[in-house]
Amino acid sequence: MDKTIRKYSSLDEMKADEYRYWQSRPVHERMDAVEEINLTAYAIKGMEPEADVPRLQRPFVSIPCPWR
């Protein structure tokens, strides 16, 4: 675990560093982090996620916006 202390002069600099960090991580590690965040959110709400809930089976379809 990296225990380096970093000081940032702006929020934008901090967010750019955070973005670079997550982009450097493999996909499976990023997905694990998302799952951990979801489980934490359920715990904060005092709920548990249901195991047999249908999940997204395919990607969303992009529909062109007529006024753009």
Rg (CA), the chain: 18
CA angle 42–44–45, rounded 5-degree value? 65
Check if the beta carbon of residue 17 is closer than 8 Å to that of residue 6. Answer: yes
pTM for the model? 0.58
Query: For residues 40 and 44, what is the distance between their CA atoms, to the nearest angstrom?
Result: 6
Query: SS3 helix, strand, coil % of the chain, rounded to 5?
Result: 50, 0, 50
Convert the pLDDT of each residue in 11-67 to its tens digit: 999 999 999 999 999 999 999 999 899 889 988 988 887 777 766 666 677 788 888
